[in-house]
């Protein structure tokens, strides 16, 4: 299990409210990506993707976006949403069909990255939360 050393949001202009929501431990969504820095310097990038199905969550070792996307980095490592995971060994596990929910967990805490936006599944957004939204695809 890798140890998490830092958490960043790479956000589009206008998505800054996600930083405040993370500080307050509130669910929030954004169109950019989550960047998890691991001990040793490796990074994991989490965002919405179109595979295995359109509007799912994807993880990879490089950005999901081109450099010209204009994403702005915000460190959220010390926010209430992420602080209990930083410094811990973490696991990644998809816990819903079609990679709709990625659980990022340690022995004592977890955060979910979901393909969910403003009450709807199947979105070009990443929702960060502690409890999974209802799995209603209607």
Instruction: State how far the Cα of 64 lies from the Cα of 106, in Å rounded to an integer.
Output: 25
Digitized pLDDT (tens) for each residue of the chain, 138 residues in all? 799 999 999 999 999 999 999 999 999 999 999 999 999 999 999 999 988 777 889 999 999 999 889 999 999 999 999 999 999 999 999 998 889 899 999 999 999 999 876 666 666 889 999 998 876 544
Residue 95 confidence (pLDDT):
92
pTM: 0.92
pLDDT digits (tens, 9 = 90+) for 105-130: 999 999 999 987 666 666 688 999 99
CA dihedral of residues 90, 121, 18, 1 (deg, nearest 10): 10
Residue 138 confidence (pLDDT):
40
Q: How far is CA 133 from CA 14, 15, 24, 36, 52, in A?
A: 24, 20, 18, 23, 20
Residue 123 confidence (pLDDT):
66
What the block records as the tokens of 132 is 């999974």
């Amino acid at each position: 299990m890798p140890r998490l050393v830092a958490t960043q949001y790479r956000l589009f202009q206008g998505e800054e409210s996600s930083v405040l929501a993370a500080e307050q431990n509130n669910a929030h969504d954004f169109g950019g990506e989550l960047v998890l820095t691991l001990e040793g310097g490796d990074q994991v990038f989490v965002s919405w993707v179109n595979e295995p199905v359109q509007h799912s969550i994807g993880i990879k070792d490089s950005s999901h976006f081109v450099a010209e996307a204009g994403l702005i980095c915000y460190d959220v490592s010390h926010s209430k949403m992420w602080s209990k995971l930083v410094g811990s060994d973490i696991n990644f596990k998809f816990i819903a069909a079609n990679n709709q929910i990625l659980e990022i967990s340690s022995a004592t805490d977890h955060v979910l990255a979901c393909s969910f936006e403003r009450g709807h599944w199947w979105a070009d957004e990443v929702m960060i939360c502690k409890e999974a939204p209802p799995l209603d695809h209607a």
